[in-house]
Amino acid sequence: MVTRPPTPRTDAGARRFALVPCAGVGERSGADGPKQYAELAGRPLVAHTLAALQGCPLIDAVLVALAPQDSRFAALLPDAGCWVAHCGGPTRAATVTAGLQALRQRGACDHDWVLVHDAARCLLRPAWVERLVQACGDDGVGGLLALPVADTLKRQLQTASAPGGTGGAGGPRAAVTVDRRGLWAAQTPQMFRLGLLERALAAAGDGVTDEASAVERLGLTPLLVAGELENLKVTWPADFALAGRLLETR
């Protein structure tokens, strides 16, 4: 993708920037080093992620927010074709906040849209990004890709003194079944105006784990746009094998 310069547009022609927080260490993945650089289908995981975002014609530019000392991105993806900012913080919220500032330094403004996408959701397809953009383009808040919860949900028993305990040889125990009606599993991208997202993250602090939850704390209701089961987040060791098989079948 050729990154287009951020020339000013009218309100109706707000630009769309993808922001990929890529400063994590992947502690749960079991990978040797940050999971975004683990090899999948012959390429670093994050390369697949960026290819999907760059393949969507509705995205004007992509910015990757890296850890300050990250040197692997440049070594592994020398021709990534995106903006890079070494601005990552200790939490996702801090990294996204710094990424928004980096976009401002490149000409983005309050009214422009920002699509924040997990680096580890490497099975993303351009058509899914376009679906989100088309759904949220005229929305007053913004929204996110998400899936209605289909599985029966169990809450783990927390009281160690209860019969059976919480773990041991038998593992954790189910305490109660959670009503899944109206529940959705959040995915990314999550698409909001830059100014709104900055205000939301500043008010919510570092505890939020996605952008939509910060926006919700302002009393707003993000749009839920149907995602795809394949848009999984590579988190656990078994996820790498599944993602690799799916990539190889494309």
Domain boundaries, given as residue ranges, for the chain: 13-144+187-248
pTM of the full predicted structure? 0.89
Fold of 13-144+187-248: Spore Coat Polysaccharide Biosynthesis Protein SpsA; Chain A (3.90.550)
Q: Angle at CA 204, nearest 5°, toward 226 and 21?
A: 60
**Where does the pLDDT of residue 249 fall: very low under 50, low under 70, confident under 90, or very high at 90 and above?**
confident
Instruction: Inform me whether the pLDDT recorded for 9 exceeds 50.
Output: no
Q: Angle at CA 62, nearest 5°, toward 105 and 52?
A: 175
Q: Which residues pair with 191 in a beta bridge?
A: 115, 143
Distance from C-alpha of 188 to C-alpha of 51, rounded to nearest angstrom: 15
The pLDDT tens digits of the residues spanning 145-200 come to 999 999 999 999 986 555 555 555 678 999 999 999 999 999 999 999 999 999 99
Cβ-count burial 157-167 (b if 16+ within 10 Å, e if not): beeeeeeeebe
Q: Which residues contact 214 (CB under 8 A, 6 or more apart)?
A: 93, 197, 200, 201, 203, 204, 208
Q: State the Rg of the chain over Cα.
A: 19
180, 151 contact by CB (below 8 A): yes
